[in-house]
Structure 1
Amino acid sequence: MATVTAQLENYSIYVLLSLRAGPGFHWGLFVPTNKPHGEVWHATNRQGGWLVEAKSTSGVPTSITLCLAFKVGTVNSANWETLRSTLGNVAGNGQPSPNTGEAFTCRVWVEDALLALHNAGVISLTQAITTIEQRAIETAETNREQVELGGRAMVWNATGFSTTA
């Protein structure tokens, strides 16, 4: 089986689901630019209130908590700055989602971010956000035990959830 790094595709937009203490997953976005290096965005409340963290990293493919990375689109030089500015403008202050009214979580932030990328023309979603969420959770759950036992994350490159605009 190929390593996580080998399976990732540069300039693809991945939704990440990582293990956390208790049920559910921690959600984020990752765009490998020169794998294993890339940019990651996620909402976190580790230091008190919610905030969105955006950073360059090379650690995503080797994270021991990463359960699933699934591709939702690609980005190129023409829309890279649109992606970055769009994600930078997705609210991460703990307020309910402006799209659904749902209480803020890292998952809700990712879903709002996907909708923002769709509205900005970076990706074109072909499935409802709820469908994407359900499929991602189901797939990550099938890999949970393997990761908990020290196995590697699953990379899903053929989602059919979007097309690149």
Structure 2
Amino acid sequence: MSEIYKENLFITLQFLRNVNGQNKYHWGLFLSGSSPPAGILMHATDTNRAALDLYLEERRVSNPLRSGTMVVVLKIADAPSLDTLRKCASSIHLMDPRYLPRGEDRWTCRVWVKEMLKSLHKHRCISLPADVDVIEQYCQYMADSHLQYKGDARVFNDLNWVRAGSSSSSSKATLSEADARGGGRYYGPSPMNIDSTGGRYYGSSPMVIDSTTKRYYGPSPMDTRT
């Protein structure tokens, strides 16, 4: 089994179903701490609600690789602090149709992950290796390519998977277009200071993780039981 390295931010994809020949996945962000494979999962989920009535859940996971549906765990950046993740999450208006990104029909777990990556990159908390839409294509490509490992997930602890994903001709074209407009790359100074003495944080107040937010109601969509 692959290992998860400490203090990294990962994109996780778990297989849900196949719809008209296209594999659908549940997307999340996993923050590995100083004692991997344990870490923090943040994701948009509809557990114990109507389908796609999403809410943000943050919970501690002892080992995400125990999930029977996990396919790939893909490093996207060095780990920001958990407080930084919470502050970025608090600025995303999940389920508000007024803030639905252009080109999306509805809020989904995938859309939430993309918006989180955009926010983290915009506020200089991480530096993305490519445009977010390109990263999405690479994630789909990697999950589809490793679907046979469902339940024995493949872990990528560096960004080589982004280059591997570029073997898809459509991804190559999109990456070239992204490079032409800057590729979503960050060339600025060090990550922003979002405390009261440094660069001011203009989003909504940091997310309060109360017992309702952190509660996990069942195995779907991420079963981490042995």
TM over 0.5, yes or no?
yes
In structure 2, stretches of 5+ residues that fail to align are: 163-184, 192-226
The RMSD of aligned alpha carbons is: 2.3
Distance of aligned partners of 1:126 and 1:90 in 2 relative to their CA distance in 1, 3 Å threshold:
same
| Residue-by-residue CA offset, 1:111-163 (whole Å, 9 max, x unaligned) | 0000011112110123111111111111110111232xx5x111112226678
Higher mean alpha-carbon deviation, 41-50 vs 23-32, is at: 41-50
1:133 equivalent in structure 2: 136
**Cα 1:96–1:141 shift into 2, 3 Å:** farther
In structure 2, do the counterparts of structure 1 residues 44 and 68 end up closer, same or farther at CA, with 3 Å as the change threshold? same
Contact kept in structure 2, 1:51 and 1:92, CA below 8 Å:
yes
> Retained in 1: the 8 A contact 2:14–2:72?
yes
- Match of residue 9 from structure 2: 13
**Which amino acid is the alignment partner of residue 13 of structure 2?**
L
Which amino acid letter does the alignment assign opposite residue 154 of structure 2?
M
Return closer, same or farther for 1:52/1:146 CA change in 2, 3 Å cut-off: same
Aligned-partner Cα distance in 2 for 1:138–1:75: 23
Match for residue 93 of structure 1?
95
SS of residue in 1 equivalent to 2:102:
coil
- The alpha-carbon distance between structure 1 residues 101 and 24, as it changes in their structure 2 partners (threshold 3 A), is same
Equivalent AA in structure 1 for residue 46 of structure 2: N
Work out the percentage of aligned pairs sharing the same amino acid.
26
- The alpha-carbon distance between structure 1 residues 156 and 50, as it changes in their structure 2 partners (threshold 3 A), is same
TM-score by length of 2: 0.62
Q: Secondary structure at the match of 2:124?
A: coil
- Which position in structure 2 is the counterpart of 1:24? 24
Highest CA radius of gyration, 1 or 2? 2
Q: TM-score, normalised by structure 1?
A: 0.82
Residues 66 and 90 of structure 1: CA distance in aligned 2, closer, same or farther (over 3 Å): same
1:98 Cα offset (Å) = 4.3
Partner SS for 2:130? coil
Give the 3-state SS of the residue equivalent to 2:32 in structure 1.
strand
SS in 1 for 2:146: helix
Greater share of residues in strand: 1
